[in-house]
Copies of this chain bind each other. A is one copy, B any other.
Amino acid sequence: MKTPSEVYPVLEAFAPAGAEELPLGESLQRILAEEIVSPIHLPPFNRSTVDGYAIKARDTFGASESNPVLLRVVGEVLMGVATEIVVSHGETAQVPTGGMIPRGADAVLMLEFSERVDERTIQVKKPLSPLENVTEQGEDIKKGEKILTIGHRLRPQDMGAMASIGKARVTVYRKPRIAIVSSGDELIDITQEPGLGEIRDINRYSISAQVEMAGGTPLFMGIARDSFENLKSLSERGLHISDMLIISGGSSVGTLDYTTEVIKSFPDSEVMVHGVSLRPGKPTIIGRSGAKPVVGLPGHPVSAMVVFDLFMKPLIWRLSGHGGSPWPLGKRISAVLARNVSSPPGREDYIRVRAEEAEGRVLAHPILGKSGSISTMVNAMGLIKIDIDSEGLEAGTLVEVLLF
């Protein structure tokens, strides 16, 4: 039996499932398997940030209402076109927002502040500083600059940054394929009408969805009956076509043993974790065959989901190439515990909570109920942890809610 914090180092043994090259547009939320370095300056030329007149800032020094400076308009810069115009002392050229600053100019007078004297002349009534209303070449991204690192999960702005430097194909880690086997003599497919004593297979759907949310591709292999042979044959097939195998177990002692035996029957296999001092989630098994994780999750839907959130999500992130290792992962909010909860010491307790905003603070209401009760998860928005040595938490304690 391991404590939860002893389980995390075990997960570090696994490596990303491999890399592939994708068109940029298909790489959102994937994890980078290459470092992104800019081959160009961005912007590639000095650009105007306003519609106005490109000038030499020097020419306007000392300009004022009573002493305006006159500049001769020598042309107009068009968008998207390399301009041949050169702005010399006493001259100016019209530029649009985003347009290229012509040679010789180093600032742009906003259209609103300019005054046309005649067809070919404007007057300027206040001084401009050098680079006013100008984005310099390379100001955003410099040639040779490292923009993104290996292990980074791609967000919309990262897609934009890669587009800006012409990174049309990108090498990312593969989405890991996760094979799932449900096991239990009482389980039936959800499309079937259960007879007395039978139960529809919940975990297939909740675990597949958790795999998807974690960035993996779930592959459901079927329901195994509680026998070594049946569980082994479905598991073997699953392991063969995937990067990781999850056996969602019946929770009876028999199934636990079968799961362990099945793992041990695979080539180059090992069982590293056999039970975790955790509630819900004690009957958790983590093993491997070769480089692939093979895990046994508890059969109770709530236990399976909690164990998934704590250990399987970071494990799938790891197989997906995620760089950092903040175990366990996920977003958190602070909240005030609405009432006392007790917990026997010697195991980490995870309490489902519902959050409610009241009087400017967030209250976390514990949801009680058995670990087989899926409706308690539907009503919950996250979990709070009670430490392994603690006997509980008092109402009013500031707690951290690990959001689903």
Q: Which residues of A contact B (CB under 8 A)?
A: 24-25, 28, 42-45, 47, 49, 51, 78-83, 96-100, 135, 139-141, 147-148, 155-168, 184-187, 190-210, 212-213, 226, 250-254, 299, 301, 305, 331, 333-334, 369-370, 372-375, 377-378, 380, 403-404
Cβ contacts under 8 Å, A147 to chain B: 375, 378
With contacts A80-B184, A140-B372 known, is A200 near B99, CB below 8 A?
no
CB A347 to nearest CB in B, in angstroms, measures 17
CB A360 to nearest CB in B, in angstroms, measures 12
CB A139 to nearest CB in B, in angstroms, measures 7
Cβ contacts under 8 Å, A190 to chain B: 24, 163, 166-168
CB A59 to nearest CB in B, in angstroms, measures 24
Copies in the complex: 2
Q: How far is the CA of A206 from the CA of B154 in the complex (A)?
A: 11
Q: Is the CB of B163 within 8 A of A82?
A: no
Cβ contacts under 8 Å, A301 to chain B: 160, 164
The residue of chain B having its C-beta at the shortest distance from the C-beta of A24 within the complex is B205
B44, B148, B199, B201: the one contacting A199 at CB < 8 Å is B44
Interface-central residue, A168, A200, A226, by most chain B CB under 10 Å: A200
Q: Is the CB of A98 within 8 A of B299?
A: yes
The residue of chain B having its C-beta at the shortest distance from the C-beta of A140 within the complex is B373
Interface-central residue, A25, A82, A99, A201, by most chain B CB under 10 Å: A25
Cβ contacts under 8 Å, A135 to chain B: 370, 372-373
Q: Is the CB of B25 within 8 A of A163?
A: no
Interface-central residue, A45, A195, A378, by most chain B CB under 10 Å: A378
